[in-house]
Amino acid sequence: MSRPFRRDGEQIVVSLSAPERAAIAALPEVIEAAGDADGRFAYQAHPDDPGAARRYQELVGEDLASLRAADRAAFAAALGADSLDVELAEAFMRVVGEARIVLASRLGIEEDGWEESASIDDPEIAMLHYLGFLQNALVEVLSNPE
Amino acid sequence: MTAPLTRPVDEPTVDETYESDRPWQVVVWNDPVNLMSYVVWVFRKLFGYPVEKATELMLQVHHEGRAIVSTGPLEKVESDCHRLHHHGLWATLEKT
């Protein structure tokens, strides 16, 4: 696979092919459709203190949902772009990460080492690996400003 | 929503200033999905850690199942925890 992202000053240049862009276009919908049946996104800052958990949820619960929705909107807007600013690239990276979490949940992945027994012939496993490749590429360009 | 106040106003209460200033810690837990490189990036981005410190914490999460990534008063660690959740990491709070 060719290098999907490279840094150009403050911009992240995107070199995704049309088929690659098409393959990931539905990620926001995949995340939204999955909901949170297994509670992976039901983050608990205070798992052993119901009172504190309620207060924390009231404080940031809606905010987190809004941030996640804003990331998905940013991803959709960025999908056709040839370059992204850093903020947009970070939102793009978070959506790719969330999609990996959703796919892994659907596949029943709960332990480290799943890669060793996973079949690359499974389309969802293949997508999980591809999204990992994209996320790692974004980490590299966002970690190296020059 | 919070419950209505039912106790008498002169009832002794916990010193809330003291409670809110007690040091807390943010714990990040291992998960099988997030990439190691991504977790290092998140620790650097959110906490400003040098790559060596961020990598050490990531490896501690990976091998030991958890690591303390920040400490401080409740308001600060709740903000830290919120930002970790926004980045897809499983984080909780504990009193030190």
pLDDT digits (tens, 9 = 90+) for B17-65: 445 566 999 999 999 999 999 999 999 999 999 999 999 999 999 999 9
Q: CA nearest A69 in B: which residue?
A: B86
Q: Which two three-digit tokens encode residue B33?
A: 């999905």
pLDDT attached to residue A24: 96
pLDDT attached to residue B22: 64
Q: Which two three-digit tokens encode residue A60?
A: 């940031």
pLDDT in tens, A23-64: 999 999 999 888 776 777 888 899 999 999 999 988 887 899
pLDDT attached to residue A37: 64
Which of A92, A88, A98, A93 lies closest to A30 in space, CA to CA? A98
Owner of token pair 């911009």: A11
Q: CA nearest A133 in B: which residue?
A: B35
A136 touching B, CB under 8 A? yes
pLDDT attached to residue B15: 45
pLDDT attached to residue A60: 86
Q: Which residues constitute the domain of residue A68?
A: 5-143
Taking CB atoms and an 8 Å cut-off, how many pairs form between chains A and B? 71
The alpha carbon of residue B89 is apart from the nearest alpha carbon of chain A, in Å, by: 9
- The DSSP bridge partners found for residue A14 are A5
Cα(A72)–Cα(B37) distance, rounded to whole angstroms?
Answer: 22
Query: In chain A, what residues touch B52 (CB-CB under 8 Å)?
Result: none
Interface test with A, best of B2, B24, B33, B87 (most A CBs within 10 A): B33
What is the value of pTM for the model shown?
0.87
pLDDT in tens, B72-83: 999 999 999 999
Query: In chain B, what residues touch A67 (CB-CB under 8 Å)?
Result: 86
Contact between B37 and A114 using a beta-carbon 8 Å cutoff: no
- The DSSP bridge partners found for residue A114 are none
- Whether B6 shows a pLDDT value over 60: the answer reads no
Contact between B78 and A45 using a beta-carbon 8 Å cutoff: yes
The alpha carbon of residue A18 is apart from the nearest alpha carbon of chain B, in Å, by: 25
Query: CA B59, B62, B66 angle in degrees (round to 5)?
Result: 100
Which residue ranges form the domains of chain B, and what is each CATH number? Answer: 32-95 (3.30.1390.10)
- The DSSP bridge partners found for residue B23 are none
Count of the separate structural domains present in chain A:
1
Query: In chain A, what residues touch B62 (CB-CB under 8 Å)?
Result: 112
